[in-house]
Homo-oligomer: A and B are copies of this chain.
């Protein structure tokens, strides 16, 4: 999918939010929604929603709104989520285990297809329906799996190595949970999730104690 205008990052983030809402609406057999409905359900301004969609074409009918099925299908296509998207998991600790078992990923067509760890005590054991593999075998394993997405759920000290291995195995997008700035080729897209950062921002908003 090639998009004429450059799409702002906040637009992409909201697109993913719309998709989740649409998945829910579809399941509940809602047929049509307006941008005002979207505002109620997501908190995103209705004009913002329409502007976001405008980067990708026309989606609605003036006076009517948007067809839920069609909008879901088109956003799904934009985000490359029409078909099952395989994902490699680096790290089979507490967080990795939680991610591997996280059901909502399935609902949006993500599937964690392999879990890697460097702890010999873990290699060969089961993580849900997966057998944990040696992190050293990732290149070989992904020749068969063909995953282009990876998740890093290893300790900070091991994150750069995990990232390098993912890239060697031909992964091009990485979701990184380690609080570390990964140094990678510009062809690789990285997003960081940092629990401590999130809590720290919240702590700032605490009223002065007492």
Choose among B12, B42, B102 the residue that contacts A195 (Cβ–Cβ < 8 A): B102
Q: Does A71 contact B (CB under 8 A)?
A: no
Provide the A75-100 mask, 1 if CB < 8 A to any CB of B, else 0.
00011110001010000011101110
**Of all chain B residues, which has the CB nearest A42?**
B181
Give Cα A148–Cα B206 distance, bound, in whole angstroms.
8
Give Cα A197–Cα B95 distance, bound, in whole angstroms.
17
Give Cα A101–Cα B197 distance, bound, in whole angstroms.
17
* Contact assessment for A203 and B97 in the assembled complex, using a CB-CB cutoff below 8 Å: no
Please give the count of copies of this chain that the complex contains.
2
Residues in chain B near residue A172, CB distance under 8 A: 205-207
* Contact assessment for A80 and B198 in the assembled complex, using a CB-CB cutoff below 8 Å: no
Give Cα A188–Cα B141 distance, bound, in whole angstroms.
46
**Of all chain B residues, which has the CB nearest A110?**
B199
Choose among B12, B98, B105, B202 the residue that contacts A196 (Cβ–Cβ < 8 A): B105
- Which of the segments A16-24, A118-126, A129-137, A161-169 contacts the partner chain? A16-24
Residues in chain B near residue A209, CB distance under 8 A: 80
